[in-house]
Amino acid sequence: MGTYSRYPLTLVRGRGCWVRDQQGRRYLDAVAGIAACTLGHSDRAMRRALKDQLQRLQHVSNLYQIPEQEQLARWLVDNSCADSAFFCNSGAEANEAAIKLARKHGHQRRGIERPIILTANASFHGRTLAAVSATNQPRYHKGFEPMVDGFKSFIYNDLSSFENLLRSLEVHGPRVSAVLIEPLQGEGGVNPGDPAFFHAIRHHCSEKGILLIFDEVQVGVGRSGFLWGYEQLGVAPDVMTLAKGLGGGHAIGAMLVQKEADLFEPGDHASTFGGNPFACRAGLTVVQELKRRDVLCNVRKRGEQLRRGLDSLIERFPNILWQARGWGLLQGVVIRDDCNLGAAAVVNAALNQRLLLVPAGAKVVRIVPPLVIRRREVTELLIRLERALQLIQV
């Protein structure tokens, strides 16, 4: 079905941070399957691990114990603030699980008949009906009304907006079951969270017994330069959702919860494919390789290199570019409001230079290469982006 306006490009193979089209032309990939190909394309460790897994077992369903699932859950728990994990197939599914958990928490722990979940303006939580209802961007709602009830929104990084909303909703007693928020907004324009704002939200949630849920679908699993986005803020959530980078390009999602938020019982939620041996082997390979190769150090170094280069480009093209923002290898370049060009124009110009980029809204170009990108590849990325901007400026 015509659900995508695709670029006129067919990719057929890749290695590391590079992909080739049907004609054999080589492109530097700074999209990475939209922040999903953590270890790049056709990674040797991933090839070996998944080939071995396919020769043994790929799917059995959650009717039975799954050793690979247990191993991945243990790794995630040992390396995060969480105590247990639920596995599914995508970020939207992880957020759906979190929404259900939030509603059960509202009913069971706060005694709320119709629980409300607070989300931020310009957020993005997925395309399923409840997840898109939580996404406070009207363009994603158009044509799919009525939205799922039970969501109210505040302005991201604006404490007065959050506190006023919370106060107005709870003036006559508990109504809010959870806050669902991204530590860094990806699709909404690469907006990093303000630590002071998040600390205040944590305080309010702890004081009232409200679940704090972090959507780390895009920023988690090392992309920020830390394993988890919440480490950038110094604030631990009660619940965290993951996907994208966890599978290194293979379909897996997860909801991680602290003990106090672990409310699901048998029959409350399920997934046929979630946490199957193949997907969990992919996830295990990703997280083990992050440690073995010290990929987080690379993310921080290459992120700093990328930011310096973007700042230099902003100085060279002040009539087009306004600001660079983000963490690690999730960076956004903001186009000036008074420039008649949008992010799509820059992405298309970069495509002509055989550089793959992706918009994050109308005025932000997102740069999310594989986390294993090397120094010379970041240099090449910046050279190709500069050529694209020169052509646009002319």
Give the residue from 249, 266, 292 where a domain finishes. Answer: 292
pLDDT of residue 308: 98
Which whole-number Å values give the CA distances from 75 to 40, 61, 81, in the listed order?
Answer: 21, 21, 12
247 and 118: one domain? yes
Say if residue 90's pLDDT is above 80.
Answer: yes
pLDDT band at 393 (very low <50, low <70, confident <90, very high): confident
Q: In angstroms, rounded to a whole number, what is the distance separating the alpha carbons of residues 371 and 15?
A: 13
The mean pLDDT value for 312-322 works out to: 97
Q: Do the bridges between strand 358-359 and strand 364-367 make them parallel or antiparallel, or are there none, so unpaired?
A: antiparallel
286 and 154: one domain? yes
Place of tokens 């069971």: 108
219 and 238: one domain? yes
172 and 78: one domain? yes
Assigned domain for 100 exists = yes
Assigned domain for 1 exists = no
Provide the whole-model pTM: 0.97
What CATH number is given to the structural domain containing 309?
3.90.1150.10
Assigned domain for 176 exists = yes
> Mind listing the pLDDT tens digit for each residue in 133-178?
999 889 999 999 999 999 999 999 999 999 999 999 999 999 999 9
84 and 188: one domain? yes
Mutual angle of helices 195-208 and 159-169, in 10-degree steps: 20
Say if residue 394's pLDDT is above 70.
Answer: no
Assigned domain for 240 exists = yes
The mean pLDDT value for 346-360 works out to: 98
Give the residue from 292, 323, 358 where a domain finishes. Answer: 292
Q: In angstroms, rounded to a whole number, what is the distance separating the alpha carbons of residues 293 and 154?
A: 40
Q: In angstroms, rounded to a whole number, what is the distance separating the alpha carbons of residues 365 and 93?
A: 26
Give the domain range for residue 281. Answer: 46-292
What CATH number is given to the structural domain containing 74?
3.40.640.10
279 and 348: one domain? no
189 and 316: one domain? no
Say if residue 340's pLDDT is above 90.
Answer: yes
What is the full DSSP assignment across 166-231?
A: HHHHSTTS--EEEEEE-SEESTTT-EEPPHHHHHHHHHHHHHHT-EEEEE-TTTTTTTTSSSSTHH
pLDDT of residue 178: 98
pLDDT band at 185 (very low <50, low <70, confident <90, very high): very high
260 and 351: one domain? no
> Mind listing the pLDDT tens digit for each residue in 266-297?
999 999 999 999 999 999 999 999 999 999 99
Burial 230-249 (b: 16+ CB within 10 A, else e): bebbebbbbbbbbbbbbbbb
The mean pLDDT value for 14-43 works out to: 98
Give yes or no for a contact between 243 and 65, defined as CB atoms under 8 angstroms apart.
no
Assigned domain for 284 exists = yes
Say if residue 208's pLDDT is above 80.
Answer: yes
158 and 65: one domain? yes
Give the residue from 259, 292, 325 where a domain finishes. Answer: 292
Assigned domain for 354 exists = yes
> Mind listing the pLDDT tens digit for each residue in 219-262?
999 999 999 999 999 999 999 999 999 999 999 999 999 999 99
% of the chain residues with pLDDT over 70: 100
% of the chain residues with pLDDT over 90: 98
115 and 263: one domain? yes
255 and 305: one domain? no
Assigned domain for 210 exists = yes
Give me the number of domains the chain comprises: 2
Assigned domain for 107 exists = yes
> Mind listing the pLDDT tens digit for each residue in 122-134?
999 999 999 999 9
264 and 127: one domain? yes
